[in-house]
Structure 1
Amino acid sequence: MKYLARTATGDPLLGGDEGYVPLGAVEPGIERVCDALPLAAAGDLGDVADATADPVPAADLSFGPPLGSFGKLWGIGLNYAEHAGDLDERRPEEPASFMKPSSVLTGPGGPIRLPPASQSERVTAEAELAVVMGRACRNVDESDVDDVVAGFLPVIDMTAEDVLQRNPRFLTRAKSYDTFLVPGAALAVPEGPLDLDALSVRTEVNGEVAAENEVRNMLFPPAEIVSFHSDVMTLKPGDLFSTGTPGAARIEPGDEVRAVVESIGTVTAPVTR
């Protein structure tokens, strides 16, 4: 696996087992991670071993978000049958998608800031596998999705559950408070075919597992999600799909939330108000 990332000051990085190097030391002329996304989708991203700089261990670096700005932020609700059952919802026959504004994003490590209690008294956190697009595309067949995806991220998504339960039409508001999406620090770029079905997604709060499931149990797998939405609109590099959670956990100030996506990465954030 290769990793595209940025330092806390915005310098682009390429990582591997050896550590991280400046992206320009492998791909001269590329000054931003977003410009490397098409290379990642095409399988043409260079290797850390070929860099003109020595790799630095991840533990010695301070990371910011992997992209300076993402594109469209899509979420998929009720994408695991068990989670739909937990919420007493019927299994959707098509992807139950929604969009979030860019203002929901916060850096790796958060914090997650809960809205005032006067607006919501019950917020839940959800671990999810996110897909990041690498190429502009339209009407993509499921079999060709690997050619347009740059890589994958762990993300923590939040919901003001009491707002949503008052009326399902309040979904956008319930999902759109500031800091209600925490992306992982490093975009995982597979170096070959990746069996997503075998990977697990886990929501943890204060070190305890709140929910866990495997991607194989999604109602709509990532390739279908991308293909389906490419028939609706043009997808562009940096667009992100949060593909749904195995389960949500209520969070309070002082909690620590972690999303763990097997083989992809982990992201952790404290909760404040």
Structure 2
Amino acid sequence: MKYLARTATGNPLLGDETGYVPLGAVEPDLETVRDALPRAAAGTLGSVASATADPVPAADLSFGAPLASFGKLWGIGLNYAEHAGDLDEERPTEPASFMKPSSALTGPDGPIRLPPRSQSERVTAEAELAVVMGRTCRGVDEGEVSDVIAGFLPVIDMTAEDVLQQNPRFLTRAKSYDTFLVPGAAIAVLEGPLDLDGLSVRTEVNGEVRAENEIRNMLFPPAEIVSFHADAMTLEPGDLFSTGTPGAAPIAPGDEVRAVVESIGSVTAPVTR
């Protein structure tokens, strides 16, 4: 597994299990992580072993978001049958997608800032696997999706559930408060086949597992989600799809939320108001 990331000051990095090096030490012609996404999708991104610099352990680095700015931010609702049942919702027949504004993003360490109680008294946090697009594409078959995906990362998605319950049409508002999307610090770039189906996604609050399920139990797997949306629009490097949560957990100031995607990574953020 390779990882694309940035330092807290915005310097692009390439990493593996040994640590991180400046991206330019491997790919001198690339200036940003976004520049590296097409090569990540094509499988031609260089390796840390070939770098002209020594790797630095992740523990010795301070990370920012992996991209200075993402593209389109898509979310998928009700993508695990069990979660849909928990919400008394019918199983969708196609991906139930929504969009979030870029202002909803916060750094990989948060914090998650809850809205004033006058606006919402019940916010939930949801761990999700996110897909990051690596190449511009339109009309992609499911079998070709791996050629246009740069990689994956864990995200924490938030919902103001009481806002949503007022009216289903308020979904965008319920999902769009500032800091309501926390991306992991590194994009995991696959170097070979990985059985995503066998991996688990887990929502934790204060160290307690609140929801967990395997990607195999998604109603619409990542490849189908990307192909479905590529039929409707041009997808571009840096576009992100949050593929749905196994379950949500109410959060309050002082809590610590963690999203864990097995073999891909984790992201943790404190909750404030």
TM-score higher than 0.5 here?
A: yes
Q: Deviations over 1:87-113 (max 9, x none)?
A: 000000010000000000000110000
- Distance of 1:197 and 1:35 partners within structure 2: 29
3-state DSSP of counterpart to 1:174: helix
Which residue pairs with 2:145 in the alignment? 145
Unmatched 5+ stretches in structure 2: none
Are positions 1:83 and 2:90 aligned together? no
- What amino acid does structure 2 have at the position aligned with 1:263? S
Aligned to 2:6: 6
3-state SS in 2 of match to 1:91: coil
Question: Root-mean-square deviation (CA), in Å?
Answer: 0.3
Q: Secondary structure at the match of 2:177?
A: coil
1:259 aligned residue: 259
Matched with 1:218 is 218
**C-alpha separation in 1, matches of 2:95 and 2:113:** 28
Give the alignment's TM-score, normalised by structure 2: 1.00
Distance 1:181 1:110 in 2: 9
1:93 maps to 93
Runs of 4+ more than 6 Å apart: none
Residues in 2 aligned to 1:142 and 1:99: alpha-carbon distance in whole angstroms: 22
Corresponding residue of 1:250: 250
Identity, % of aligned positions: 86
Whichever residue aligns with residue 110 of structure 1, its letter is G
Deviation track 1:109-167 (CA, whole Å, cap 9, x = no partner) reads: 10000000000000000000000000000000000000000000000000000000110
Q: In structure 2, how many angstroms separate the alpha carbons of the residues matched to 1:139 and 1:194?
A: 24
Provide TM-score, normalisation by structure 1.
1.00
User: What amino acid maps onto 2:188 in structure 1?
Assistant: A
1:271 aligns with 2:271: yes
- Aligned equivalents of 2:141, 2:178: Cα separation in 1: 34
Are residues 1:27 and 2:24 paired? no
The CA distance in 1 between the partners of 2:17 and 2:94, in whole Å, is 39
Any idea what the Cα deviations from partners look like across 1:221-240, whole Å, max 9, x if unmatched? 00000000000100000000
Say yes or no: does 1:164 pair with 2:181: no
CA distance in 1: counterparts of 2:17 and 2:63, whole angstroms? 17
Aligned length: 273
Matched residue, 2:192: 192
Aligned counterparts, 1:96-111, within 5 A: 96-111=96-111
Deviations 1:59-87 (CA, angstroms, capped at 9, x unpaired): 00000000000000000000000000000
**Residue 192 (structure 1) shift:** 0.7
Is residue 59 of structure 2 the alignment partner of residue 54 of structure 1? no
Residues 199-242 of structure 1: per-residue CA shift (max 9 Å, x gap): 10000000000000000000000000000000010000000000
Query: How far is 1:17 from its partner?
Result: 1.3
Q: Tell me if 1:113 matches 2:131.
A: no
Residue correspondence of structure 1 range 126-141 to structure 2 within 5 A: 126-141=126-141
Distance 2:200 2:4 in 1: 22
Give the secondary-structure state (helix, strand or coil) at the position aligned to 2:83.
helix
Instruction: Provide the C-alpha distance between the structure 1 equivalents of 2:231 and 2:29, rounded to a whole number of angstroms.
Output: 33
Using the TM superposition, give the Cα deviation of residue 18 of structure 1 relative to its aligned residue in structure 2, in angstroms.
1.1
CA apart distance, 1:195: 1.1
Q: How far did residue 53 of structure 1 move?
A: 0.2
